[in-house]
Amino acid sequence: MVMLLVVLIFLFAFILMRIGYTLYIVNCCSDKPMYVQKSINVLVVLGSGGHTGEMLKIIRALNTVRYSPRVYVVAATDTVSQRRLQDMEKEFKDKAGVADKESLYEVEVVPRSREVGQSWLSSVFTTARAFVFSMLIVFRHRPSLIITNGPGTCVPICIAAFLMRVLCVCQIRIVFIESLCRVLSLSLSGKILYRLVDDFFVQWPQLKEKYPRSIYMGRLV
């Protein structure tokens, strides 16, 4: 019994040290560039409506040959985003002359953490369910890079990626791009993930003044 208690204390202390070390790396050393790879396995989190529109503009600006394969995460009820990204990927394939069987993208569907108007109490259980799905997706694909612009779906995905780093499973760089509509304050997702992501981009100078750790490069979308 004493031995078991010692082991548990050791594991708890180890996890706390790993969390502290990972937070230090994220907040103090995230300016280091990614290890140069021929191709980068990227996971993209899509929201609905404006979130999807902004994110697809960002993906179109990337070198799709280098940033592949691509994994898109969408909410279970978001059929519009799935249709839009499929149309975009078809354009990529037509432009590159790639056959359907050689597709370099995949779509993962996760349950929503919280529906509009859902009570906060019931959202605890739906968020836990979404987190389990997110952990499985991140563990299965182990992307080198995660890109998101703030939909609620991104929170469990980014926390899962952060935990993967804490547990030394894989190193995943997380890039958060705050939505263009956030001028004076961060979104709820942004507030939650501000200290957990490697690169936090804002598109208005007012946010850079309020959140000095953020990166302002003008309008990105």
Is CATH 3.40.720.10 what the domain over 39-113+121-216 is classified as, yes or no? no
Locate 49 and state its tokens. 């409506």
Beta strand 199-202 with 145-148 is unpaired
Domain boundaries, the chain: 1-29, 39-113+121-216
**Residue 29 burial class via C-beta count within 10 angstroms: exposed 0-12, middle 13-18, buried 19 and up:** exposed
H or E segment to which residue 93 belongs: helix 79-96
Residue 45 — pLDDT band, cuts 50, 70, 90? very high
131-182 confidence digits (pLDDT tens): 999 999 999 999 999 999 988 889 999 999 999 999 989 999 999 999 999 9
**What is the pTM for the complete model shown?**
0.87
106-133 confidence digits (pLDDT tens): 999 998 776 666 666 667 777 888 899 9
